[in-house]
Amino acid sequence: MASHGVSRSSGTAVRTEEARQKELQQIAAYKDLTNVVNKKIAEKEYTLDVLGLVTKLLNENPEYYTIWNHRRRILSALFAGSTAENDSNGSAEQLIQDDILLTFALLRKFPKCYWIWNHRDWLLNKAESELGADTGRQLWAGELQIVSKMLHVDSRNFHAWSYRRFVVQQLKRLASTTHAQTMSTKTLTESEFDYTTKMIKTNLSNFSAWHNRSKLIPLLLDERNADSTARRTLLASELDLICEAINTDPFDQSIWFYHQYLMSTLSPNCPPSDQIVQDLSNSERQKYYEHEMEYIREILDDEADCKWIYEALLFLARAYLEVEAGTKLFTTKDMRAWLDELNRLDPLRRGRWRDLADRLNI
């Protein structure tokens, strides 16, 4: 009902009578299976056999959310029974392992299906309560590798990135309640930061990775107990990284949004928890803005038709004027010229440039 990226020609061909009959048989078989599953669940027949039918149905249609609920109903009942001597219900460990395999196989086929990700989340939480914190932590740690595999296939998968952050949270929670203590927590933020570096180096255009980086930096600085020098060092290395990226592909908007992020942390209005350097003076701010402006103006020599450059220059000019009224670095005439370029290069957003001109009163 919500199809994405399916070509119309693949679906509009008139079905032959044979194909029609075949489809009717498929429908009958599918409806039989759903009827049997729903009937057994209504009768609370929470057994391994019914679990098998549920697996079959989910393989045919993983979007059928009610069936995932049924699966959890059955599993909960089996977990509750598995402590008894009745081993034919399968051990909790075996059941969980089976579901980990099932959901991974399904995620590979349907990487954007919310219900599969949800089930996995439920499963791992259950594993913790059924099998203990140590096994729980091992399983959560394994999830990081699974997510990496998913992101290797689609580096922008929204669900995978969300799940990744969630898994990290769980690992941190477990570390703080067990003996693993702070060392491993520190390592985790560091390794996640390294992971974003790796993803960015593979593909500069991966905004999901840049975004995650922006969320990790405050944690990283906190955990490192970074002093004001260390904070300046990190800012400098981030600026180096992004300037190199800008130089490589100035037409990629992911990069410019990250640049905007770094600049936004310099603003006096930035909440202290989001600041990279926390003791900036206004003259220091000016120096950062000046440095960026000069660097970006240099790129202009080769890329005069890149609208992002003019947008960034205007952004920097406004940031500069926020902390210091007068400068020889740029004039109102420069700002007017940058706006003209935006109008020329980016007519889709003409209304925005008009509003900006009004706001800047130029």
Per CB under 8 A, residues contacting another protein are 1-12, 20, 23-24, 26-27, 30-31, 38, 60-61, 63-66, 69, 72, 114, 118, 121-122, 156, 158, 161-162, 165, 205-208, 211-212, 214-215, 252-254, 257, 260-261, 264, 274, 347-352, 355
| Shortest distance (Å) from residue 328 CB to another protein | 27
Tokens of 121: 């989340």
Output 3 or 361, the one with its CB closest to another protein.
Answer: 3
Residue 322 CA to residue 282 CA, distance in Å, equals 10
Determine contact, residues 285/293, Cβ cutoff 8 Å.
Answer: no
Output 5 or 326, the one with its CB closest to another protein.
Answer: 5
Output 81 or 218, the one with its CB closest to another protein.
Answer: 218
| Shortest distance (Å) from residue 34 CB to another protein | 8
* Furthest-apart CA atoms within the chain: distance in Å: 84
Residue 9 CA to residue 19 CA, distance in Å, equals 17
Residue 274 CA to residue 221 CA, distance in Å, equals 10
Interior angle at CA 153, CA 151 and CA 159, nearest 5: 45
What SS3 class is residue 267? coil
| Shortest distance (Å) from residue 155 CB to another protein | 11
Output 91 or 264, the one with its CB closest to another protein.
Answer: 264
Determine contact, residues 263/292, Cβ cutoff 8 Å.
Answer: yes
Residue 27 CA to residue 148 CA, distance in Å, equals 37
| Shortest distance (Å) from residue 86 CB to another protein | 27
Output 164 or 231, the one with its CB closest to another protein.
Answer: 164
| Shortest distance (Å) from residue 72 CB to another protein | 7
User: Residue 54 carries which side chain, given as an amino acid letter?
Assistant: V
CA 128 remoteness from chain centre: 24
Output 91 or 155, the one with its CB closest to another protein.
Answer: 155
Cβ neighbors of 23 (< 8 A, separation 6 or more) are 15
Residue 105 CA to residue 167 CA, distance in Å, equals 19
Output 272 or 351, the one with its CB closest to another protein.
Answer: 351
| Shortest distance (Å) from residue 298 CB to another protein | 24
| Shortest distance (Å) from residue 347 CB to another protein | 7
| Shortest distance (Å) from residue 198 CB to another protein | 18
Determine contact, residues 339/307, Cβ cutoff 8 Å.
Answer: no
Output 4 or 179, the one with its CB closest to another protein.
Answer: 4
Residue 295 CA to residue 63 CA, distance in Å, equals 50
Tokens of 181: 């203590």
CA 320 remoteness from chain centre: 32
